[in-house]
Amino acid sequence: MKQKAVTDLTEFKVCNKKLYLYPLIDLHSKEELGFSHSFSPTVAFVIEILENALPNNKYQTLTIHTDQGFQYQNARYQTWLNEKNITQSMSRKEN
C-alpha cells in the first residue's frame, strides 16, 4: 500500500529561546509516527527523527511531503531518503 506522511518544522519561543518541534504524521490514518524537539533546526535533527519514526521502513512505498525548508533541500537529507526508498514531495514556494 502506498503511504504518505507530512511534516513541518515549527518554531516556538520558550523562555527567550527558540524551540523547534518536528512531528511526522501519516496522512491516511492520521497517526503520529513520531515527533521530537530541538533548540537547533539542523539537517541531522530532521534525519534523526525520521530514523526513529520509521524503523525498518514498514511502508513499502512512502512519500514524505514537506515545505521547502533548507533541511529538506539539503543533499544529505535527500540522499538519506533515496537510500531508504522514500519519495520526497515539497510544496510550491510561498504555499
The pLDDT tens digits of the residues spanning 61-95 come to 889 999 888 899 999 999 999 998 899 998 877 65
Q: What is the signed CA dihedral for 86, 94, 12, 57, rounded to 10 degrees? A: -10
For the domain covering 2-90, report its CATH number. Answer: 3.30.420.10
Using 50, 70 and 90 to split pLDDT, how confident is the model at 38?
A: very high
Using 50, 70 and 90 to split pLDDT, how confident is the model at 13?
A: very high
Sequence-separated contacts (24+) of 37-46 with Cβ below 8 Å:
41/9, 41/11, 41/69, 41/71, 42/71, 43/70, 43/71, 43/74, 43/76, 43/77, 45/20, 45/71, 46/9, 46/22, 46/71, 46/72, 46/77
Query: Residue 19: what pLDDT?
Result: 95
Query: Residue 15: what pLDDT?
Result: 92
Position 59 pLDDT exceeds 80: no
- Angle separating helix axes 43-53 and 75-83, nearest 10 degrees: 20
**Which of 15-19, 42-46, 53-57 comes out lowest in average pLDDT?**
53-57
Q: Which residue type occupies 80?
A: W
CA distance 76 to 84: 13
Q: Which residues pair with 2 in a beta bridge?
A: 61
